[in-house]
Chain A
Amino acid sequence: MSEETLNLKLRIWRQDGPSSKGGFAEYPANNIPTDASFLEMLDVVNEQLIEQGEVPVEFPHDCREGICGTCGVMINGRAHGQEKATATCQLHMRKFTDGDTIEIEPWRAAAFPVVKDLVVDRSALDRVIEVGGFISAPTGSAPDANEMLIPKDVAESSMDAAACIGCGACVAACPNSAGQLFTSAKIWHLNAMPQGQAERYKRTEEMVETMEQYFGSCTNHGECSEACPKEISLDFIAYMNRDYVKSKVKNRRLAGQ
């Protein structure tokens, strides 16, 4: 706890709508307490803009606890900023220095068109889920939960992947705007579990091919995992690729029956 404050210069991307041309605007952010979060700093700037009669900056946010996956901007060229394992909303101003210039931009990816200012449209991620990111278990059809034993380490590994918050930082951080980390995390969450086996190969094939329609290709840079606020592991991409190759063989065989 400290009562220090910072004076900063912000360069923020402003863009009226999806088809408008955007550009940087500069705003001062003065007397920002070091205890403030990054988004609270933006709140302060917005209050000042409103006072001056200027339209406030639209930025994505909701839970402000690093779990909903709504927030996310490029901070000095890095998705969610320089802190490891930290979503934008969890970043605090004590990590900056008085006099800093901070450049703030929206996620940049063809699959994520800008809606306004720092807000982008990430619905391509939902398109990947809806083709296979589930286990078909209609309500009411489930057996007793303890009839299926799931080894602790399997549940843990599945949970490691399921921790993804769907923020899209992986796509934004990738030089190719690839969607591999997001897609593989969902595939592994479900493919790891016994419940997920029946649809394993169908799921993998459908999700990978839908992903490819929206996102770029993976060339193993690893920037995605570096930027991920939940530190989702690159291993899941390897598991996905392995299952995808298998799915090609298995699904073809099934199709030929």
Chain B
Amino acid sequence: MTTLNSKVPEGPIAEKWTKHKFDSKLVNPANKRKFKILVVGTGLAGSSAAATFAELGYEVEAFTFHDTPRRAHSIAAQGGINAAKNYPNDGDSVFRLFYDTVKGGDYRSREANVYRLAEVSVDIIDQCAAQGVPFAREYGGLLANRSFGGAQVSRTFYARGQTGQQLLIGAYQALMRQVGLGAVKLHTRSEMLDLVVKDGEAVGIVTRNLTTGAVESHAGHAVVLCTGGYGNVFYLSTNAMQCNVTAAWRAHRKGAYFANPSYTQIHPTCIPASDEFQSKLTLMSESLRNDGRIWVPRSRDETRRARDIPEAERYYYLEEKYPAFGNLVPRDVASRNAKTVVDQGFGVGPLKNGVYLDFASAIERVGKDTIEARYSNLFEMYERITGENPYEVPMRIYPATHYTMGGLWVDYNLMTTIPGLYAAGEANFSDHGANRLGASALMQGLADGYFVLPYTIGDYLAPKLGQDLVPTDDPVFTESVQNIKAMTQGFLDINGTKSPEHFHRELGKIVWNYIGMARDQNGLEKAINEIRALREEFWKDVRVLGNADTLNASIEKAGRIADFFELAELMARDALDRNESCGGHFREESQTEEGEALRDDENYAHVSAWEWHDADTPQTKHAEELEFENVKLTQRSYK
């Protein structure tokens, strides 16, 4: 186990970023056009980074597997974006946002990065407003704020229930402006399948054109991955269907360490699956817990309709167990408790896979009109999917995978362990520790893209002035192209009996059962064996039909699942290695008497970053020790 250098600058926390910006090398404006930066991914992080690089004068190429940048998964974020503006005058500050984020992450994030995030959060709102993002306003024309995800202050900015959409459209428009000006070359339907490394540095990528199947090389002076999270390793999640880990994973295979893969977030309020072939779960906003009461019948054999079950025969388990916070306990606590009652056989619905979220008492208390004003769009969405009317029948909810805190390890500059390769947005591991707070992912993606990378990348590029790009006929490129072509054709040649979807679904079950909301040694060891066995079967028996030279979703899917197999195994190893509970990672062996997550700060106050060897040799762990100089470590309690 070696130690990693996070390159956090010296000095008091509030001065680190300012000082670091001053100390970083600059690229002269006239020289910027001599550097080419490849940005992979055009979600919030990628679009904002690519647009800003181009505004600064760099030559930029941007890649997305979507048909246009505006489709990135960021579009689906609903709730809002945090910023320490303190407009409501309720005591917020950069320090408080920093403090809440470190605490919310259960003390497993890097202080300096989080502080910088809080610091630049205020600039993000200014930037987005200037771009024309139609944020919610008060009657006087000032920006509106709300409190989100249990925060004690109102620091969340929003645009109806479509904040992610509006922020992404803002960044997309900034990007398209640069495309129109010829400063960014945009490659849509273009999937990065390999990172090209020469003499230890990132020098380019290899992509597959998803429409023609052409495998293409692209050289750059630096490569930036903004390729999103890996929640779809669970098969069922709230992520868009196409989200995957491939870009980050292929970089990992080329030497980039992968950090904290087992830190995943399970969101408590999603609509439960209605049948076996369901492929996607829908998130219902967390705000519903403000008025809905969560319960299950006290009897496992209950057959009556919810309405007919008398009060005394209902188990309001959160209200009973956590009188102080009740239905508003944090995401992980709410999720775990739902799992417990469902596992014990108290679940509701035809598949007994949910718990009730009941609005009857709220409707009685404040009236149907008020509830309608607060939640009508969510109620409508629920009814559209389930065919049930939540004004009359309690909603059924169950937790689902929502966000992944783990990702490529990056230093303070957002550079991975491969010089010249950067990772931003959900694809990196850096700011949320073991648990992400609501409305903080949008903030982080835009912080990285608009305000961090544009400064830090110059420090790497400046000394490279005059250095030519590695030609794409260099063996490092041609070998990679050959490998990717062989892999693609390889899927078609297996000629097995089961669809890629089948393997994904089966893998998801293993991951959910053993590396989901609660983990223990036995289960994790079992998971590793089962994942390996299934992976072997996949490579022998997957059936991919059609050709490699047209659009072919099965080929795309097979490649992504191949990476999910390897990732899942690493998640299990990471979870096994981390013999403590923290944030979204709950080890059965490490809990308080009351069943709450119990951290072990003495042994695990570090980031675990894993180094790849080959598909059959387990990764090696490297640790980055976390030091807390500004925040005191405490045990969470919600009783």
Chain A: CB-nearest residue to B136? A155
State whether the Cβ of B388 lies closer than 8 Å to any Cβ in chain A.
Answer: yes
CB-CB contacts below 8 Å: B547-578 with A: 550-554
Contact B545 A50 (CB under 8 A): yes
**Chain A 47-66 per-residue mask, 1 if CB under 8 angstroms from chain B, else 0:** 10011011110101111110
State whether the Cβ of B129 lies closer than 8 Å to any Cβ in chain A.
Answer: yes
* Interface footprint category on B: 35 or more
**Stretch binding the partner chain, chosen from A74-82, A156-164, A171-179, A216-224:** A156-164
Q: Kindly identify which residue among B48, B76, B125, B176 contacts A133, using a CB–CB cutoff of 8 Å.
A: B176
Q: Which residues of B contact A139 (CB under 8 A)?
A: 48, 51-52, 55, 127, 174, 450-451, 454
Contact A145 B68 (CB under 8 A): no
Contact A65 B131 (CB under 8 A): no
State whether the Cβ of B141 lies closer than 8 Å to any Cβ in chain A.
Answer: yes
Q: B121 CB to closest chain A CB, in angstroms?
A: 12
CA distance A54 to B551 in the complex (A): 15
Contact A1 B386 (CB under 8 A): yes
State whether the Cβ of A106 lies closer than 8 Å to any Cβ in chain B.
Answer: no
Q: Kindly identify which residue among A135, A140, A151 contacts B137, using a CB–CB cutoff of 8 Å.
A: A151
Q: A238 CB to closest chain B CB, in angstroms?
A: 20
Contact B550 A116 (CB under 8 A): yes
Contact A62 B71 (CB under 8 A): yes
Most B Cβ at <10 Å: residue of A43, A58, A129, A152? A129
Q: A117 CB to closest chain B CB, in angstroms?
A: 8
State whether the Cβ of B22 lies closer than 8 Å to any Cβ in chain A.
Answer: no
CA distance A51 to B497 in the complex (A): 7
Q: A203 CB to closest chain B CB, in angstroms?
A: 11
State whether the Cβ of B91 lies closer than 8 Å to any Cβ in chain A.
Answer: no
Q: A48 CB to closest chain B CB, in angstroms?
A: 10
Q: Which residues of A contact B501 (CB under 8 A)?
A: 43, 46-47
Contact A135 B132 (CB under 8 A): yes
Q: Which residues of B contact A144 (CB under 8 A)?
A: 126
**Chain B 445-476 per-residue mask, 1 if CB under 8 angstroms from chain A, else 0:** 00000110010000000000000000000000
**Stretch binding the partner chain, chosen from B278-286, B334-342, B523-531, B600-608:** B278-286
Contact A1 B126 (CB under 8 A): no
Contact B543 A50 (CB under 8 A): yes
CA distance A1 to B388 in the complex (A): 6
**Chain B 25-49 per-residue mask, 1 if CB under 8 angstroms from chain A, else 0:** 0000000000000000000000010
CA distance A145 to B554 in the complex (A): 46
Q: Kindly identify which residue among A92, A156, A196 contacts B132, using a CB–CB cutoff of 8 Å.
A: A196
Contact A40 B277 (CB under 8 A): yes
Assuming the contacts A119-B551, A129-B173, A130-B176, asked whether A193 and B134 have C-beta atoms less than 8 A apart, the reply is yes
State whether the Cβ of B149 lies closer than 8 Å to any Cβ in chain A.
Answer: no
Contact B499 A47 (CB under 8 A): yes
Contact B384 A92 (CB under 8 A): yes
State whether the Cβ of B143 lies closer than 8 Å to any Cβ in chain A.
Answer: yes
Q: Kindly identify which residue among A40, A115, A152 contacts B139, using a CB–CB cutoff of 8 Å.
A: A152
Most B Cβ at <10 Å: residue of A44, A115, A137, A165? A137
Q: A57 CB to closest chain B CB, in angstroms?
A: 9
CA distance A125 to B169 in the complex (A): 13
Contact B142 A146 (CB under 8 A): yes
State whether the Cβ of B211 lies closer than 8 Å to any Cβ in chain A.
Answer: yes
Q: Kindly identify which residue among A36, A51, A129, A143 contacts B126, using a CB–CB cutoff of 8 Å.
A: A143
* Interface footprint category on A: 35 or more
CB-CB contacts below 8 Å: B205-248 with A: 211, 240-242
CB-CB contacts below 8 Å: B471-527 with A: 499, 501-502
Q: Kindly identify which residue among B55, B126, B136, B242 contacts A145, using a CB–CB cutoff of 8 Å.
A: B126
Q: Which residues of B contact A61 (CB under 8 A)?
A: 241
Q: B295 CB to closest chain A CB, in angstroms?
A: 18
Chain A: CB-nearest residue to B283? A65
State whether the Cβ of A254 lies closer than 8 Å to any Cβ in chain B.
Answer: no
CA distance A136 to B450 in the complex (A): 15
CA distance A166 to B173 in the complex (A): 13
**Stretch binding the partner chain, chosen from B159-167, B410-418, B612-620, B626-634:** B159-167
Q: Kindly identify which residue among B75, B385, B502, B546 contacts A67, using a CB–CB cutoff of 8 Å.
A: B75
Contact B134 A69 (CB under 8 A): no
Assuming the contacts A67-B162, A134-B174, asked whether A142 and B137 have C-beta atoms less than 8 A apart, the reply is no
Q: B366 CB to closest chain A CB, in angstroms?
A: 24
Assuming the contacts A1-B350, A131-B180, asked whether A35 and B387 have C-beta atoms less than 8 A apart, the reply is yes
CA distance A80 to B450 in the complex (A): 36
Q: B584 CB to closest chain A CB, in angstroms?
A: 23
Contact A126 B68 (CB under 8 A): yes
**Chain B 121-153 per-residue mask, 1 if CB under 8 angstroms from chain A, else 0:** 001011111111011111111110000000000
Contact A58 B553 (CB under 8 A): yes
Chain B: residues with CB nearer than 8 A to chain A? 48, 51-52, 55, 66-68, 70-71, 73, 75-76, 85, 87, 123, 125-132, 134-143, 159-160, 162, 165-166, 169, 172-174, 176-177, 179-180, 188, 211, 240-242, 274-275, 277-280, 282, 349-350, 384-388, 450-451, 454, 499, 501-502, 543, 545-546, 550-554
Chain A: residues with CB nearer than 8 A to chain B? 1-3, 16-17, 33-37, 40, 43-44, 46-47, 50-51, 53-56, 58, 60-65, 67-70, 86, 90, 92, 94, 115-116, 119, 121-123, 125-126, 129-131, 133-146, 148-152, 155-156, 158-159, 162-163, 165-166, 189-190, 193, 195-196
Q: What would 19 A/B residue contacts be, using CB atoms closer than 8 Å? A: A1-B386, A37-B385, A53-B545, A55-B545, A61-B241, A62-B66, A64-B240, A68-B73, A68-B76, A92-B387, A122-B67, A126-B176, A142-B130, A145-B135, A151-B139, A155-B134, A156-B134, A159-B160, A162-B169
With A1-B274, A47-B277, A68-B71 known, 17 other A-B pairs at CB within 8 A are A56-B545, A63-B73, A67-B76, A70-B66, A70-B67, A119-B551, A121-B67, A133-B176, A134-B174, A134-B176, A139-B55, A143-B126, A145-B130, A145-B135, A146-B85, A150-B137, A152-B138
Closest 4 CB pairs of A and B: A149-B141, A130-B180, A142-B130, A134-B173
